Amino acid sequence: MDLDTSRRAFLQAAAAGLGIAVIRVAPATATPAAMDEAVRKVVGASKVSKGRVTLELPPLSENGNTVPLTVSVESPMTQAEHVRAIHIFTELNPQPDVVSFRLGPRAGRARVSTRIRLANTQTVTAIGELSDGSFWSTSAAVVVTLAACLEDA
Amino acid sequence: MSARTARLLTTPALLLLATTAPAGEIPTAERRSGYELMGRETRAMQDDDTANPGMLGVLEGEAAWARKTGAAGRACADCHGDARASMKGVAARYPAFDAALKRPVDLEQRINVCRTDRQQAPALAYESRELLALTAFVARQSRGVPIDIAVDARTQPFLDAGRATFYRRQGQLHLACNQCHDENWGKRLAGNPIPQAHPTGYPVYRLEWQSLGSLQRRLRGCLTGIRAEPYEYGAPELVDLELFLMWRARGMSIESPAVRP
Amino acid sequence: MANALVNVPPRARRGEIIEIKTLISHPMETGYRRSQLGATIPRDIIRLFVCTYNGTEVFRAELHPAIAANPFIVFSTVATESGTLAFQWTGDNGFSATESAAITVD
């Protein structure tokens, strides 16, 4: 997958040496403001508190195409008190939403793993939505490196 | 090598300035699979067969193995039975000499020879999903088996041709494979560690490709990277280089399907 | 040609929390890539993954293009009774794939 960032275009040009660069159009990247709006769509007017959510991401990713992620939320996961959903957002991908997991007391444990794409070195944010209507969040920064020699398909 | 020279050598364009160092093979004790240069999370992806994306290809290959095909209406299984037994060790000794073609062939080519000769089916295109799946399935049966390439009067000339390619400067960047992979392995190129280039895990699920791919695809990618005209799929130059690389990795274990960045 | 790999423990104790791993073959085309001629390659992704346990939904994931190709999702559920865990993936261009696994709960 070619994540068309200006950094990739630069690296290609550098690798080309003699300036035979493939000009790639950089897509609109999301901004932290776009991410805030995406978060607002999920939480509404509610306050988002820091804590209770843990994001496990490699601090340095070898390839932004596939970054393993595990998110967990502290919760007894009973009918009375459980995690309803976990939402993942990024601030610099072309769009801010990554995935929403819908859980419930039958999950037993609020812990989900997946693999995401990161277009750039950036911060990933996870928001846990609890059964009492409260929202909790955490963030983690990932440095994303690109493949050194890019293939012309 | 001084620290200054090491810094100069960290970008391909500046490798032009490097003096031609003696062709130093990596001592056997220092040989490392690219697996060891990967981060913890990427290694974990490879280690778990229930999480390794290359295993999706292996599963498809397993289905293809049992499927009757071609004018002969034969499945691989009809001649070869249970692949776990019959294919064990096979990937570890390819490329291997083909008497009819009078030259070594790689595993993909060998599968196609079977398809055309035994199944009377059309050959599968290089890098096609089905060929990758079958190759991945066959290679998976050799996981853990040490690479063992037969070197004899028949294969020697091809091995030598492959070795010559490995040590020959090519492309606009005028680089030889050994300059990165013998002399600068472990150092970083644009943020990523340079491996020793042992093809222990092919077909490999490369995160950059987001799919399985063959050693030939990787070699063509490298050639493109040094701005050389890549040889066509199936070209003798590529197979000779595959033969040399596998021989260079002799004794190392097959990891297929490996995961690499 | 969907191809899925699902890992469910074949047996569990009642009340035990079991981990389920799922992996499905799909390119997850983002819709942001361009072809060699400059045309945008249209989006083609899995949008929804649902797991049901003897017919009751126990887990759901709503996916966006930022989920890596060949989506891998690991989640947990409580082993409540013997039966079938069913998995369904749906997405763009009418994509639909299902898989199931039996579990014995003592």
CA of A81 to nearest chain B CA: how many angstroms apart? 31
**Residue of B76, B114, B177, B222 with catalytic role:** B222
Listed in sequence order, the residues at least 6 apart from B91 whose beta carbon sits closer than 8 Å to its beta carbon are B107, B138, B139, B141, B142, B145, B254, B256
Query: What gap in Å lies between CA C32 and CA B48, rounded to an integer?
Result: 31
pLDDT given at position A153 = 44
Mutate to test the interface with C, among B41, B47, B50, B62 (most CBs of C within 10 A): B50
What letter would DSSP give residue B24? -
Q: pLDDT higher for B213 or B11? A: B213
Residue B2 has pLDDT above 70, yes or no: no
Query: Is residue B222 annotated as a catalytic residue, yes or no?
Result: yes
Average pLDDT per consecutive 10 residues, chain C (106 residues; last block may be shorter): 88 97 97 90 97 98 98 98 98 97 97
Q: Which of B221, B226, B261 sits opposite A63 (nearest CB)?
A: B261
> Measured in whole angstroms, how far is the alpha carbon of residue B183 from the centre of its chain?
20
CA of C67 to nearest chain A CA: how many angstroms apart? 4
Query: Residue B91: which of B231, B249, B261 has the closest Cα?
Result: B249
Query: What gap in Å lies between CA B197 and CA B128, rounded to an integer?
Result: 23
Q: Which of A25, A90, A113 sits opposite C66 (nearest CB)?
A: A90
Which structural domain, as residue segments, surrounds residue B125? 30-261
Sheet holding A111-116, edge to edge: A53-56, A67-73, A111-116, C72-78, C17-24, C4-7
pLDDT band at A23 (very low <50, low <70, confident <90, very high): very low
- Residues A26-55 have pLDDT tens digits of 455 667 889 999 999 999 999 999 999 999
Residue A81 has pLDDT above 90, yes or no: yes
Is the residue at B8 inside a domain? no
Query: What gap in Å lies between CA B112 and CA B129, rounded to an integer?
Result: 14
Residue B12 has pLDDT above 90, yes or no: no
pLDDT given at position B1 = 53
- A139, A124 Cβ separation under 8 angstroms: yes
- C59, C48 Cβ separation under 8 angstroms: no
The count of domains in chain B is 1
- Chain A residue whose CA is closest to C80: A106
Backbone CA torsion sign across B89, B92, B97, B100: positive
Query: Residue B24: which of B136, B179, B243 has the closest Cα?
Result: B179
**Average of pLDDT values for A46-72?**
95
Query: What gap in Å lies between CA B12 and CA B24, rounded to an integer?
Result: 20
Interchain proximity A2–C33, CB inside 8 Å: yes
Residue B244 has pLDDT above 70, yes or no: yes
Q: What angle separates helix B54-66 from helix B129-140, to the nearest 10 degrees? A: 90
Is the residue at A9 inside a domain? no
**Average of pLDDT values for B184-193?**
89
pLDDT band at B21 (very low <50, low <70, confident <90, very high): very low
Query: What gap in Å lies between CA B178 and CA B197, rounded to an integer?
Result: 9
Is the residue at A16 inside a domain? no
pLDDT given at position A17 = 43
Query: What gap in Å lies between CA A94 and CA A141, rounded to an integer?
Result: 17
- Chain B residue whose CA is closest to A10: B190
**Average of pLDDT values for B133-145?**
98
**Average of pLDDT values for A57-80?**
95
- B93, B103 Cβ separation under 8 angstroms: no
Interchain proximity C23–B53, CB inside 8 Å: yes
Query: In terms of DSSP H, where are the helices of A1-153?
Result: 6-16, 32-43
CA of A71 to nearest chain C CA: how many angstroms apart? 10
Query: Residue C105: which of C59, C58, C60, C54 has the closest Cα?
Result: C54
What is the average pLDDT score of chain B? 92
**Average of pLDDT values for B102-130?**
97
pLDDT given at position B216 = 98
pLDDT given at position B142 = 98
- B257, B204 Cβ separation under 8 angstroms: yes
pLDDT given at position A13 = 47
- C100, C87 Cβ separation under 8 angstroms: yes
Q: With beta carbons under 8 A apart, name residues in chain A contacting C32.
A: 3-4, 27, 94
Which structural domain, as residue segments, surrounds residue A133? 29-144
Interchain proximity A100–C33, CB inside 8 Å: no
On whether any CB of chain A is under 8 Å from the CB of B50, the answer is no
On whether any CB of chain C is under 8 Å from the CB of A46, the answer is no
- B42, B118 Cβ separation under 8 angstroms: no
Cis peptide before B95 (omega within 30 of 0): yes
CATH of the domain at B106: 1.10.760.10
Q: Where are the domains of chain C?
A: 4-105
Interchain proximity B172–A58, CB inside 8 Å: no
Residue A151 has pLDDT above 50, yes or no: yes
Is the residue at B16 inside a domain? no
pLDDT band at B190 (very low <50, low <70, confident <90, very high): confident
CATH of domain C4-105: 2.60.40.10
**Average of pLDDT values for A77-92?**
97
Is the residue at B244 inside a domain? yes
pLDDT given at position A18 = 40
pTM: predicted TM-score of the whole model, two decimal places: 0.88
What is the residue whose two structure tokens read 């805030």?
A: A36
pLDDT band at A1 (very low <50, low <70, confident <90, very high): very low
Residue A16 has pLDDT above 80, yes or no: no
Interface subset of C 30-89, CB within 8 angstroms of B:
68-70, 72, 74
Least confident of A72-81, A111-120, B102-111, B188-197: B188-197
- Chain A residue whose CA is closest to C46: A99
pLDDT given at position C41 = 94
On whether any CB of chain A is under 8 Å from the CB of C23, the answer is no
- Residues A102-149 have pLDDT tens digits of 999 999 999 999 999 999 899 999 999 999 999 999 999 999 987 666
CATH of the domain at A127: 2.60.40.2470
Listed in sequence order, the residues at least 6 apart from B246 whose beta carbon sits closer than 8 Å to its beta carbon are B94, B95, B147, B149, B199
Q: Which of C53, C68, C73 sits opposite A66 (nearest CB)?
A: C68
Is the residue at B15 inside a domain? no
Query: Residue A152: which of A6, A15, A27 has the closest Cα?
Result: A15
Amino acid B94 reads Y
Interchain proximity A117–C66, CB inside 8 Å: yes
Backbone CA torsion sign across B111, B112, B114, B119: positive
- Residues C3-24 have pLDDT tens digits of 999 999 999 999 999 999 999 9
The count of domains in chain A is 1
